[in-house]
Structure 1
Amino acid sequence: MASPHDPFADARASAQLAVAADTEGRAASAADHYERAALTISKVAQRMRAHGGVPAPGIETAGAQYADRARALRATLKPAKPAEQPGFLSWCYQSILGPPAPDAAAATPGPGAGAVAGGSAAPGGELETRVLEETVVMPPKEPPPPGSELAKIAGLGLAKRVLEEAVIEPFLNPGVYTGLRAPPRGVLLFGPPGTGKTLLARAVSREAKACFLSVSASALTSKWVGEGEKMVRALFSVARRYAPSVVFVDEVDSLLSKRSAGENDASRRIKTEFLVQMDGVTTGEGDRVLVMGATNRPDELDDAVIRRFQRRVLIPLPDAAGRKTMLASLVAGEVTALTKAEASQIVSMTKGYSGSDVRSLCEEAAQGPVREARASLRPGERLDASALPPLRKRHFVEALRVVRPSVPPESLAMYEDWARAYAVRS
């Protein structure tokens, strides 16, 4: 039994669970425990050396054996579609670890388990697998008609045109867009919050019939040293495997901000790995993998990141025509008594509102008829949806007192200045 001060106690416990599951024929569970034991051994050994210690003889050999056995077990699992199989990203972890040993598939459960019982050194730990599985959104089984997804988004004519030329057409017609016509590897959408950057990125992936991977800084970080870089490599491995694919990084400034002398070393390594992957150093020229970033703080991005986002598109606040289209779309399912003149007045009163603000305004206005109907109810009487009064201008006027613009006017100058310096121009 491991002593209370045994640094490899967790690894031994994981290995014992792995051997038990392996013996009972539970391959997936055994592989998880083998991987966890191998990872624990690797990390503890690294920490011991960093502090001048020496790992016990044979402990790291046992960890390597656990990793080999985990790979062998993963290889025996029946492959399935990503949305159907838990742990479907194990193949990319195997690719990072390297091919399994020639006789690994026939190996007996847990070699060296009595010596250590340890392991999940591979980057394919349970947490990382779950995070990446939640990242992938496969394209719909029945692709939408061309142009239908972008048509749902009001305004943004320049952004739509740029994305059609840089993303959608190259993905749908790869034979045409080669050589000097090769599409960019990175597209940056920047602008005030609530203007539809995420919505636009998802619509583009659907139009291009691409796999959509939505990630954030928290999904690529880990408390273990070196795991963040492995997560980034795994992410791009998945993107290449299911190409054409779009890797969408929301709030990209939180992940790829400007590097500084006092920056955390782990954060710097993650940024470096992400930049290397974006540059396509480890990929082929024909890989149809696009990185799309969205941010409302473009001025905080690192210079190297700006260079890799070859197309930079400003997503501004909606103009009057855009707000009018949004208003008509949002109230289409409601009973209204708005005249064209009243609708135009509401559009004028919402100058400076983002798309998200306009939606919040309509939602608040839609509560007006409900409040009026509730006020006229007798005690014990229930509200009937068919008895609601129509939506009128006064309901929007009342809602304007509640829902105010979320974008400070003084911040708009920063976006315009940055766009003049870096963005695509009409």
Structure 2
Amino acid sequence: MYSNFKEQAIEYVKQAVQEDNAGNYAKAFPLYMNALEYFKTHLKYEKNPKIKEAITQKFTEYLRRAEEIRAVLDDGGPSSASNGGDAAVASRPKTKPKNGEGGGDGEDAEQSKLRAGLNSAIVREKPNIKWSDVAGLESAKQALQEAVILPVKFPQFFTGKRRPWRAFLLYGPPGTGKSYLAKAVATEAESTFFSVSSSDLVSKWMGESEKLVSNLFQMARESAPSIIFIDEIDSLSGQRGEGNESEASRRIKTEILVQMQGVGHNDEKVLVLAATNTPYALDQAIRRRFDKRIYIPLPDLKARQHIFKVHLGDTPHNLTEIDFESLARRTEGFSGSDIAVCVKDVLFEPVRKTQDAMHFVKTPNGMWVPCGPKQQGAVQITIQELEAQGLASQILPPPISRTDFDKVLARQKPTVSKTDLEVHEKFTREFGEEG
């Protein structure tokens, strides 16, 4: 079976060399990259050491050539030229021609425009989410701290062969806190944080999407130490060779592969962090680029208890520790997002009570709070009547109670199905590790 990979690689190489010799670098580059992927797969199965050595040598040659071509394309060099091959690379000008000179008219302006669009991806204000706000996920937090905090604060730790992790994939059902964890990284890290989604990197213009990817990584290298967070990476990097895959989609994936490989670049201070709800949809070559693949599961009992407290924050309530434990037990199967929605709904219950109240009591500090008709000091009056008397600013909703949660939980159901969980657990057994 593996001989097919070799044949396919050779076929791609023939086409790549043909386009390369003709000077059609934009066409030659993706062909070289496809050939390299097939050679890599073949090497996994090849048993003969002499053949392996020969293929490895060829692989290195083609990889070097692909990098040279990419450098030409990145520098705004010719996508087609008459002298082709290594001669074109050797004759590449060291500096770009100014606008109006040579053939590079508008190239700098185009790059500036692409970079201006990506500038919005830089998170300039810290999201103010600390590690302690993230419930559970201890091993995920530890791994991210090793990759993000330690290299900046203690660079002397990373000597010899010890290197920081360079690429993390966070996967799990929707709403389990993957993006929340990324926000904690943005808050805690002393690094430039780029937060991008597929819409930031996909352009309707031919060839612009891969330039956006290239520029994103280049900006990250220039701003190092830096972190690139790609949310919903599956929408950019689905399986190659699918029937509905477009040429543009294939080129974006190839560019992401090349950039994540980091050949010819010092990427030690650039961390790629990506999140997905559908890890099986990822292209296997891109999946392999992530040296850490961490499963972000549904929160356990203690984590759910913590999430209720985090989302309630300093809102007045009269819940006890026993109440929080009880709520955590009742929400088995809920994601962090489900609990956040539940608390958001509960936060409005006191407001609803205040709007519907027929009796209010005046507190010692002069505020009006809704109450029952039999409470001492109760006055039969509505919120509208208090407002009409000019007392709107003195009306306070009551503190949140356990019954408010009971009312909301009676109508709320978890959003993650057992089938979703089974898919992620299977992926973890095959390729991942527990968060």
Q: Is TM-score (shorter-chain normalized) higher than 0.5? A: yes
Question: SS of the counterpart of 1:257?
Answer: coil
Give runs of aligned pairs for residues 14-413 of structure 1, distance below 5 A: 96-97=75-76, 100=95, 104=98, 120-121=106-107, 124=110, 128-138=114-124, 149-260=130-241, 262=243, 263-284=245-266, 287-376=268-357, 377-382=382-387, 387-413=396-422
For residues 300-322 of structure 1, give each alpha carbon's deviation from its aligned partner in whole angstroms, at most 9, with x where no partner exists: 11111111000011111111101
Q: Distance in 1 between matches of 2:426 and 2:324?
A: 33
TM-score, structure 1 length as denominator?
0.68
Question: SS of the counterpart of 2:263?
Answer: coil
Distance 1:237 1:335, change over 3 A: same
Give the partner amino acid of 1:264: S
For residues 88-119 of structure 1, give each alpha carbon's deviation from its aligned partner in whole angstroms, at most 9, with x where no partner exists: xxxxxx973476568x5xxxx9679xxxxx96
What displacement does 1:389 show? 1.5
TM-score, structure 2 length as denominator?
0.67
What displacement does 1:248 show? 0.5
Compare 262-271 and 377-386 and name the one that shifted more: 377-386
Give the partner amino acid of 1:135: A
Count of aligned residue pairs for this structure pair:
321
Q: Distance in 1 between matches of 2:111 and 2:405?
A: 52
> Given that residues 169 and 208 in structure 1 are in contact (C-alpha distance below 8 angstroms), is that contact kept between their aligned partners in structure 2?
no
Distance 1:344 1:385, change over 3 A: farther
What displacement does 1:185 show? 1.9
> Given that residues 214 and 248 in structure 1 are in contact (C-alpha distance below 8 angstroms), is that contact kept between their aligned partners in structure 2?
yes
> Given that residues 148 and 189 in structure 2 are in contact (C-alpha distance below 8 angstroms), is that contact kept between their aligned partners in structure 1?
yes
Distance 1:206 1:368, change over 3 A: closer
Question: SS of the counterpart of 2:386?
Answer: coil
What displacement does 1:266 show? 1.3
> Given that residues 205 and 245 in structure 1 are in contact (C-alpha distance below 8 angstroms), is that contact kept between their aligned partners in structure 2?
no
For residues 212-240 of structure 1, give each alpha carbon's deviation from its aligned partner in whole angstroms, at most 9, with x where no partner exists: 10111221122222111111111111000
Compare 333-342 and 189-198 and name the one that shifted more: 333-342
Q: Distance in 1 between matches of 2:182 and 2:189?
A: 11
Q: Distance in 1 between matches of 2:309 and 2:207?
A: 51
> Given that residues 123 and 230 in structure 1 are in contact (C-alpha distance below 8 angstroms), is that contact kept between their aligned partners in structure 2?
no
Distance 1:254 1:371, change over 3 A: same
Distance 1:126 1:234, change over 3 A: closer
For residues 186-243 of structure 1, give each alpha carbon's deviation from its aligned partner in whole angstroms, at most 9, with x where no partner exists: 1000111111111212322432311110111221122222111111111111000000
Q: Distance in 1 between matches of 2:386 and 2:106?
A: 62
RMSD (Å) for aligned C-alpha atoms: 3.1
Distance 1:416 1:330, change over 3 A: same
Compare 214-223 and 372-381 and name the one that shifted more: 372-381
What displacement does 1:245 show? 0.5
Q: Distance in 2 between matches of 1:392 and 1:349?
A: 16
Identity percentage of aligned residues: 39
Give the partner amino acid of 1:415: H
> Given that residues 354 and 383 in structure 2 are in contact (C-alpha distance below 8 angstroms), is that contact kept between their aligned partners in structure 1?
no
Question: SS of the counterpart of 1:381?
Answer: helix
For residues 77-96 of structure 1, give each alpha carbon's deviation from its aligned partner in whole angstroms, at most 9, with x where no partner exists: xxxxxxxxxxxxxxxxx973
Give the partner amino acid of 2:183: R
Q: Distance in 1 between matches of 2:213 and 2:96?
A: 25
What displacement does 1:416 show? 1.0
Distance 1:199 1:99, change over 3 A: farther
Distance 1:417 1:152, change over 3 A: same
> Given that residues 133 and 310 in structure 2 are in contact (C-alpha distance below 8 angstroms), is that contact kept between their aligned partners in structure 1?
no
Give the partner amino acid of 2:342: L
Q: Distance in 2 between matches of 1:352 and 1:416?
A: 14
Give the partner amino acid of 1:226: G
For residues 380-407 of structure 1, give each alpha carbon's deviation from its aligned partner in whole angstroms, at most 9, with x where no partner exists: 4335575312211111111113432121
> Given that residues 147 and 166 in structure 2 are in contact (C-alpha distance below 8 angstroms), is that contact kept between their aligned partners in structure 1?
no
Q: Which runs of 5+ in 1 are unaligned?
A: 1-45, 47-93, 113-117
2:361 matched residue in structure 1: none
> Given that residues 360 and 403 in structure 1 are in contact (C-alpha distance below 8 angstroms), is that contact kept between their aligned partners in structure 2?
no
What displacement does 1:290 show? 0.8
Q: Distance in 1 between matches of 2:136 and 2:192?
A: 25
Distance 1:196 1:425, change over 3 A: closer
Question: SS of the counterpart of 1:131?
Answer: helix
Q: Distance in 2 between matches of 1:423 and 1:378?
A: 56
Q: Distance in 2 between matches of 1:253 and 1:394?
A: 41
Q: Distance in 2 between matches of 1:293 and 1:300?
A: 14
Question: SS of the counterpart of 1:162?
Answer: helix
What displacement does 1:298 show? 0.5
